Chains A and B, each alone.
Chain A
Amino acid sequence: MSLEAGKKAPAVSAGSAGRGGGLVLLAALAVLFPIIFSNPSVTNYGVLTMIFVTAATGWNIFSGNSGYISLGQAVFYGSGAYAMGIAARDWHIQGTGVFALLPLSGAVGALIAVPFGLVALRVRRHTFIVITLAIFFIFQLMAFNLWFTGGSSGLGSPFLSWSPVSYNRSFYYIALAFAAGSVLVAWAVRRSRFGLQLRAIRDDEERARGLGVKAMRVKLGAFTISGAITAMIGAVWFYYLNQVEPQTGFNPLFDLSLVLMVFLGGYGSVSGPVLGALIIEPLTLWLNTQPAFSGSVSEIVLGAIFLLVVLFLPRGIIPTGGELITKIRTRGKPAVIPATTVGPPSPVSPGRSVSSGGTL
């Protein structure tokens, strides 16, 4: 046992040193991005990409870990946007004060998540997907028809009279902060007991329940966190574009994009959604600028890419890539010790107390 631990240790530290260095580099690049590329049309890509990194990570915190695929994240996104818009309009908030409304959007997202989750999380997974769709449509309908949402022309946000360069740069850093924050939350969830329970629910919910996991509480918790994050970044998006309408705030393509990003990058992992968003969002934005790819064609392309990913890369790039790397590294060595080697019976049976010493 100690021999094996020794053999494992250097490999792990070398790997993590490499990973640590890579992360620092990535972080540096992310921070320097708008300074290097100050052209507003480029930084625009950056802002929207970071927004989607946040949204995809938020989606994954719940869906990736629990296995409940949600097609209704747009509910939070749009609600966060509308919440900020309505508050700014009714409380007459101008300028940078609008940013102070971000926590409000987050709270709105969380408040919506609770009843939404209580209803939706009782059913089986495939029915769950359907319910999230239904609730999505309800919200879109409300956005069109409720008296305070501005109807089909939607809401505008207060303007910030900054220069395009500093406007984009500021929004970029805000979105980056959110992206980093959501990744941090995703990482914390993953490593925690809470995250473990979520993943157990994903594998076998009934068994997890039978072992004492409070499934509804755990699922609802993750769903609320995910909802709050998505709502806040929706508000950022709204303020950045200065406008929200029912069909843009509650856009059926939004969830599909998120799912695509997460599946592409790696469902269930922390870095997967980030990678997926970094690939898909700039691609989508670029496609929309090409004359040949007017609105409807981007739908086709998105759908086609999604099919390809789901059919051929079912676990996403990062896990599949990770497996590939592991295969290359451990070439020739068996991955799992064969079944016949069961450990020698321990002469001391494990006592109730932890400090039984034993022959570990």
Chain B
Amino acid sequence: MTALLRTEAITKAYGGVQALSGATVAVEEGTVAGLIGPNGSGKTTLFNVITGYARPDAGQVLFRDRAITGYAPDKVFAAGIGRTFQLTRIFPRLTVIENMLIAAQSRDRPKNLLAGFGRGAWTQHRRHAQELLAFAGIERHAEVLAGSLSYGQRKLLELAYVLVADPAVLLLDEPAGGVNPTLINHIADRIRLLNAQQGKTFLLVEHNMEFVMGLCSTITVLESGADVVSGPPEIVRTDKRVLDAYLGTDVDEEEEDAQ
């Protein structure tokens, strides 16, 4: 059985910098997978390539065994892959609920221009949006301008956002970054719930090791733009290559000297 979402040997260079040099990652359906690696290892670039915000120089992105390489972001979104951003990208001058409605409006096309002015379909979208906001835990801020939310609340909004289109796969870019411990647990909780109750597949980029180890069933390690190790947390945690990647080969030499 092939993975729900996978990449094959993605390479991508930005000017002189080789961001990705053969990244092959596979995410099985119904799992919560993690993507870790030191800074600059290409994690966000890989996300950008998968979700259409960047074009790879080589390699493929396959979703349900269909190549979606180079698809524009809205097509990727429509195909069923949702994505959050590391630096939250919300619409600051719209209210929280309006933010949700923008994500929702892509789901159906109005029959003609005039219908675009109508309010009918909106009541349905509104209700759905409010449910999702409640799930994320920020429903009481629905009428507030999104720009005045705190960082943590924005992260929750991004989560609610990405759920609007009911995606099969969610790519979360540092969902626990810069957020207080209570909120981290809340987010982890939401992810577990979505995974267990709705079978949603997750791919998380994270630096918070505890978060990743505690949540993910498979972890892939990226280093210098290529995948280095992939496996369950216990294996990855103790793999020498992972330690090398994070701490550099000096650790290796020190150990040899000590012997």
Interface residues of A (CB under 8 A from B): 1, 4, 188-189, 191-194, 196-197, 199-200, 202-204, 207-213, 221, 268, 335-340, 342-346, 349-352, 354, 356, 358-360
* Cβ proximity bits B11-39 to A, threshold 8 Å, 1 near / 0 not: 00000000000000000000000000000
Tally of chain B residues near chain A (CB < 8 A) = 60
A4 lies within 8 A of B131 (CB): no
What are 29 of the A-B contact pairs (CB < 8 Å)? Answer: A1-B140, A194-B113, A196-B94, A196-B101, A197-B102, A197-B105, A199-B93, A199-B98, A203-B94, A204-B90, A204-B91, A208-B91, A208-B102, A210-B74, A211-B77, A212-B77, A212-B106, A221-B113, A342-B156, A343-B138, A346-B134, A349-B198, A350-B132, A352-B166, A354-B127, A354-B131, A356-B131, A358-B131, A360-B130
Contact flag A354-B134 (CB < 8 Å), given A203-B91, A345-B186: no
Does B259 reach chain A (CB closer than 8 Å)? no
Q: Answer whether A210 and B131 are a contact pair too, CB < 8 Å, given A199-B93, A339-B153.
A: no
- Check B70 for interface membership: any CB of A closer than 8 A: no
Q: List the 10 shortest-distance A-B pairs measured between CB atoms, nearest first.
A: A212-B106, A210-B73, A339-B150, A343-B137, A203-B91, A192-B117, A350-B131, A212-B74, A194-B116, A342-B137
Which residues of A have CB within 8 Å of B116? Answer: 192-194
CA distance A207 to B48 in the complex (A): 12
Q: CB distance B140 to A354 under 8 Å?
A: no
A187 CB to nearest B CB, Å: 11
- Choose from A193, A335, A358 the contact partner of B134 (Cβ within 8 Å): A358
Cβ-closest chain B residue relative to A341:
B140
Q: Which residues of B contact A213 (CB under 8 A)?
A: 74, 102, 105-106
Which residue of chain B is the closest to A357 with respect to CB atoms?
Answer: B131
Could you tell me the distance between the alpha carbons of A305 and B193 in the complex, rounded to whole angstroms? 57
How far is the CB of A78 from the nearest CB of chain B, in Å? 27
Does B4 interact with chain A (Cβ within 8 Å)?
A: no
Question: How far, in whole Å, are A354 and B197 apart by their CA atoms in the complex?
Answer: 17
**Known pairs A211-B73, A342-B156, A359-B134 / 4 extra A-B pairs, C-beta < 8 Å:** A188-B117, A199-B98, A207-B91, A356-B131
With CB as the reference atom, state the residue of chain A lying closest to B124.
Answer: A354
B3 in contact (CB, < 8 A):
no
Partner pick for A360 among B110, B118, B134, B153, CB 8 A cutoff: B134
Looking across the interface, which residue of chain B has its beta carbon closest to that of A351?
A: B198
Please classify the interface of chain B as helix (H, G, I), strand (E, B), loop, or mixed, using the class held by over half of its residues. Answer: helix
Which of B94, B131, B134, B166 interacts with A343 by CB under 8 Å? Answer: B134
Given A193-B116, A336-B144, A342-B156, residue A211 in contact with residue B103 (CB < 8 A): yes
Chain A's closest residue to B149 (CB) is A336
Contact present for A196 and B150 (CB under 8 Å): no
Would you call B215 an interface residue if the criterion is a C-beta within 8 Å of the partner chain's C-beta atoms?
Answer: no
| Residues of the B chain whose Cβ atoms lie less than 8 Å from the Cβ of A196 | 94, 98, 101-102, 105
| A210:B52 contact, CB within 8 angstroms | yes
Closest A residue to B106 using CB positions:
A212
**Chain A residues with CB under 8 A of B144:** 336
B251 within 8 A of A: no
Contact A350 B153 (CB under 8 A): no
Determine whether B236 belongs to the interface, using a CB cutoff of 8 Å to chain A: no
Q: How far apart are the CA atoms of A341 and B180 in the complex, in Å?
A: 12
Are A336's CB and B131's CB within 8 A? no
Give the residue name and chain of the A residue nearest to B130 (CB).
Answer: A360
CA distance A343 to B134 in the complex (A): 8
**A211 near B182 (CB under 8 angstroms)?**
no
Chain A residues in 8 Å Cβ range of B132: 350
* Nearest chain A residue, comparing its CB with the CB of B150: A339
Across the interface, which residues of A come within 8 angstroms of B51, CB to CB?
210
Within 8 A of A (CB), among B126-155: 127-128, 130-132, 134-135, 137-141, 144, 148-153
Q: Which residue of B lies closest to A339 (CB)?
A: B150
Tell whether B237 is near chain A: CB-to-CB under 8 Å. no
A119 to chain B, nearest CB (A): 22
Contacts of B149 in A (CB 8 A): 336
Report the separation of the CA atoms of residues A38 and B203 in the bound assembly, to the nearest whole angstrom.
72
Least Cβ distance of B116 to chain A in Å?
4
Within the complex, which residue of B94, B139, B148, B156 is in contact with A336, where a contact is CB–CB below 8 Å?
Answer: B148
Contacts of B163 in A (CB 8 A): 350
Query: B250: shortest Cβ distance to chain A, in Å?
Result: 40
Which B residue sits closest to A210, measured CB to CB?
B73
Distance A197 CA – B194 CA, assembled complex (angstroms): 29
Is the beta-carbon distance between B124 and A345 smaller than 8 angstroms?
A: no
Q: Which residue of A lies closest to B194 (CB)?
A: A349
- On whether the beta carbons of A199 and B186 are closer than 8 Å, the reply is no
The CA of A204 and the CA of B73, in the complex, are separated in Å by 14
Residue on B with the closest CB to A348? B135
Contacts of A221 in B (CB 8 A): 113
B101 to chain A, nearest CB (A): 6
Q: Which residues of A contact B246 (CB under 8 A)?
A: none
B94 near A200: Cβ-Cβ < 8 Å: yes
Of listed A203, A212, A221, A360, residue having the most chain B CB within 10 A: A212
- Bitwise interface map of B from 153 to 164 toward A, beta carbon under 8 Å scored 1, else 0: 100100000010
B217 to chain A, nearest CB (A): 19
Known: A193-B110, A200-B102, A349-B198. A211 touches B138 (CB 8 A): no
Closest chain A CB from B137 CB (angstroms):
4
Do B128 and A211 have beta carbons less than 8 Å apart? no
Q: What are the residues of chain A within 8 A of B110 when measuring CB–CB?
A: 193
